[in-house]
Structure 1
Amino acid sequence: MSPQPEPAAARPADASAEPPAGAFRRLRQELAESPPLWWALLYFFSLLCGYYVLRPVRDAMAASGDLAAVFPDAWIAWALAHGFALKDFVLQALFTGTFLSMLTLQPLYGALVSRYPRRVFLPALYLIFIACLVGFWWIFDRNISGRGALFFVWTAVFNLFAVSVFWSYMADVFDNAHAKRVYGYIGAGGTLGALLGPAITQLLVDRVGIGSLLLISAGFLVVCLLCIVRLRPWALLREQRSGYPASGEAMGGSMWAGFRLVANDPMLRGLALLMFFGVGVGTLLYNEQAAIVKQFYPSPSDAAKFYARIDLAINLCTILVQIFVTRWLLRRHGVGPVLLIPAFAITFGYCLLTMSPLPLLVAVVQVATRSGEFSLGKPGRETLYTRVDRESRYKAKAFIDTAVYRGGDLTYVWLHKWLALFGSRVVFAAGIAIAVGMTLSAWQVIRAQRKLPS
């Protein structure tokens, strides 16, 4: 296998000014010059395809009116004995369980990363995920009580850890200049997988049942394992060029290093705040959407199809921006626009919802919010991790992507429960303030990243 190409600085100076219309020609050129890009595209495609097969099932469980499918019988009985209806706190219970799971798993992940080399902990993580999916297939096949809550929490954990580790690995494979050229394309590969995943669910859920979909998702994770192995030579080469041992040794350090790094580094603190407020605007919209689905789509299969259509719309918008805009913006203007444009768009969307909180407009803003995050915000943030050390890349990033993310989820899901008492307009007015906080955090990151080595 040949090494990755020389950085973009060795190319003609006007390459970054190429208009978005040349995106397909540039993609063919990058694929011809960069063998690891092929494996990175296949990796992210398979990862998100496998996840998006699961996501509609997870969301349908969260919106399900069948408490016995979501919670164990003992939980339902305990709630009734203490005088409250568990059906009124479904999302709050699920998000609280997810956050507690993240707090428990974060130090375990830190210990795994500190003590074992990448060639061990990356495959081990995915093998654990595959084994869990096989276990869930057994649980769903037998309609065991409480399967919904367990699956919701596990899917959230899987999504954050698997995607966070993916981008950490990409920062090992590609340097900053290379990342600006290819991260938009890698994101587009993931979006293609995210388009196929809901389509698979919508097509097969009535034919094979929910349990069998989990085995299909496990098959995609097996492909991810193959890609991890095939990308390893380029990751080792990048480490060698950066002054790290070429043998892929364990990085060492404390399992709590992620929290310490975020607390002490201005840019990482800004990224943590950006994540916290970004989660807030998404959670408020998600909860409003869940209330609509519970009212109009009581069947789990119908709810799964509705969420699949929303995901398809989001991913269609995302891939268009990733192919035609993201790479051009990153190379021409840096991370500033890709972080600020989604923040401005979300603020504007919440202003519209405050004036007219219509269900259709909620869906439209949901599509705009998530597609802007996936196509611009996420690639912009990930390029920054190519310019930091390995502990920040794996430990601090994992802390932000898991503990901070789910801590935001927990905060805003309970905040929404209180705000919803005053109506949708109050919910969306609060969303404006959160979106402003997101914008200010993006600006803090933009200022702090200027001090990083290029």
Structure 2
Amino acid sequence: MLLVGYYIMKTVREPLILATGGAEMKAYAAAGQALALIGFVPLYGWLASRVGRLRLIVSVLLFFMIVIELFYLGLRVGVPSLGFAFYIFVGIFNLASIAQFWAYANDLYTKMAGDRLFPIIAIGATAGSPVGTWIAEKLFEAGLHVQNMLHIIVGILAVHLVLYWVVDRQKAAPVPGPAATAAPIAPLKGRGGFALVLASPYLRLIALLLIILNTVNTTGEYMLGRLVVGAAKEAVAAHPGLDIQTYIGSFYGAYFFWVNVAALVIQAFLVSRIVKYLGIAGVILFLPMVALGAYSVIGLGASFAVVRWAKTAENATDYSVMNTGKQMLWLPTSRAEKYKAKQAVDTFFVRTGDLLSAGIVYAGTTWLALGVRGFALTNVVLTLAWLAVAALLLREHRQVVARTQRTEAA
């Protein structure tokens, strides 16, 4: 349900930002998310230190639902530049709510159980993505205005919130005895998310990996958005009655749909086999290899259609294979790291990649006059660095798992 709601929201945000500011403004808005998260992450850590597990989840989701309704009111009265603010909000909502979901899953399961169950859980999460994009595409085709779709998103999130309550009631007592149930649901005392990340070499490498990953991906999204805006302007020039927001919204509805259908197929039939035969290394290295091939092809010179399907392959792998690998990395960590540090890594440090991508876009468009091919070659260099960091992270992961096993045995 979470992914259904998010992908409707994600499809809604594209025409709002691209039609009013273009692909460059979209890249700069992504950088604004990193600045907003500097405040959000400490507030999340503060709340996690004072309330139990379920109250934390309920509080955060209710906050997001209220903000979505406020955006509805803003669109109704015509608040200027709201597409820019909405893009920032959607990015924060996406990262924070999904990080919280997987922190909860990591809290419920041991490493052994998580290695077995996470590829299966991710099938359900991945299945929500094509459903959400299909619903969004049909709503656009039916002529429903973007602001009215926000009520639908809030309703879906309300159902998602109820499911948390149901699962928490079933999992509140994993083993008999009050002592066993107190720790998992108690507030998390101690250091905040940023401090936990900076104190751990393992968590620092996870953060660095996600910074590079998101820099590459966001730069690729800029390339695609730039081509989409150009195609939309050509279509409007040829057919003056065509609405540019509708054109862009319909394109992204179809694009996200096929990305997520491919991700679902990969998740259902490939990911568990990669984990079984290649382990954590297989799922962590798969995406950078795909990205290296995709941007190498684009760098050689590619049409709009080739860029679209190269990005489809990259994002489908990210949402399936890499997503499972990212969550498995947190299984051998402490509860405080699962909630506080994960929220910092999956929000602020991921958006730091967007900030770096915005710098690349600014430099490439303002000083270097780069085209799509130039940005693709930049991504090739970054992907090579990504592979090097992944190798270091996998070595550190083996050491963390060994220490955890020794501690549990003692």
The answer to whether the superposition gives a TM-score over 0.5 is yes
Aligned pair in 2 of structure 1 residues 121, 278: CA closer, same or farther (>3 Å)? same
Partner of 2:333: 388
Q: Is the 8 A contact 1:180 1:327 kept in 2?
A: no
1:138 aligns with 2:82: no
User: Which runs of at least 4 in structure 1 moved beyond 6 Å after TM superposition?
Assistant: 239-244
Distance (Å, rounded) in 1 between the aligned partners of 2:83 and 2:176: 46
Counterpart of 1:327 in structure 2 is 272
CA contact (8 A) 1:338 1:377 kept: yes
SS of aligned partner of 1:297: helix
In 1, the alpha carbon distance for the partners of 2:9 and 2:26 equals 18
Structure with the bigger RCO (C-alpha within 8 Å, sep 6+) is: 2
Partner of 1:356, secondary structure, is coil
RMSD (Å), alpha carbons: 2.1
Superposition pairs for residues 295-306 of structure 1, below 5 Å? 295-298=230-233, 299-306=244-251
1:365 aligned to 2:310?
A: yes
State the 1:88 CA deviation.
Answer: 8.5
Q: Equivalent residue of 2:329, what SS? A: helix
- Can you list the C-alpha shifts for 1:322-361, whole angstroms capped at 9, x where unaligned? 1111112213331110111111111111111111232222
Instruction: Give % identity.
Output: 23
- Aligned-pair CA distance for 1:108: 0.9
Q: Which moved more, 1:98-107 or 1:237-246?
A: 237-246
Residue 185 of structure 2 corresponds to residue 248 of structure 1: yes
Residues 1:446 and 2:394 aligned together:
yes
Aligned pair in 2 of structure 1 residues 237, 328: CA closer, same or farther (>3 Å)? farther
- CA distance 1:102–1:247, change in 2 (3 Å): closer
Q: 2:298, 2:306 within 8 Å by CA — same for their partners in 1?
A: yes
Look up the SS of the partner of 1:116 in the other structure. Answer: coil
CA deviation profile, 1:355-385 (whole Å, cap 9, x unmatched)? 1232222111211111111111111121221
Per the TM alignment, residue 145 of structure 1 is displaced from its structure 2 partner at its CA by 1.8
| Deviates most, 204-213 or 393-402 | 204-213
Aligned to 1:425: 373
Write the distance in 1 (CA, Å) between the matches of 2:23 and 2:76: 27
1:61 maps to what in 2? 16
d(CA) in 2 for partners of 1:274 and 1:93? 21
175, 190, 200: which one pairs with 2:125? 190
Provide the rounded CA distance (Å) in 1 between the counterparts of 2:176 and 2:225: 48
For structure 1, which segment, 262-271 or 307-316, has the greater mean C-alpha deviation from structure 2 after superposition? 262-271
- 2:277 matches 1:340: no
Q: CA deviation at 1:260?
A: 2.2
Residue identity in the other structure for 2:294? G
Q: Within the alignment, does 1:173 sit opposite 2:121 as a pair?
A: no
Q: Number of residues paired by the alignment?
A: 387
Q: Is the partner of 1:369 in helix, strand or coil?
A: helix
CA distance change for structure 1 residues 373 and 302 in 2, over 3 Å: closer, same or farther?
same
Secondary structure of the residue aligned to 2:182 is coil
Gaps of 5+ in 1: 1-45, 68-86
- 1:52 Cα offset (Å): 0.4
Structure 1 residue 416 displacement after superposition: 2.0
Amino acid across the alignment from 1:438: W
Please name the residue that 2:255 is paired with. Answer: 310
What is the distance in 2 between the residues matched to 1:183 and 1:240? 25
Contact 1:347–1:435 (CA<8 Å) still a contact in 2? yes
How far 1:306 moved relative to its partner? 0.5
Is structure 2 residue 63 aligned with structure 1 residue 115? no
Match of 1:273 in 2: 208
For residues 235 and 434 of structure 1, the distance between their equivalents in structure 2, rounded to whole angstroms, comes to: 42
**Cα distance, 1:240–1:296 mapped onto 2, change above 3 Å:** farther
- Distance in structure 2 (CA, Å) of the matches to 1:412 and 1:336: 26
- Name the CA distance, whole Å, in 1 between partners of 2:175 and 2:24: 48
Tell me by how many angstroms 1:110 deviates: 1.2
1:243–1:276 CA distance, 2 compared to 1 (3 A): farther
* C-alpha separation in 1, matches of 2:364 and 2:355: 14
Alignment check: 8 A CA contact 1:62 1:152 kept:
yes
Q: Please name the residue that 1:47 is paired with.
A: 2
1:212-231 Cα deviation digits (max 9, x unpaired): 21111111111111111112
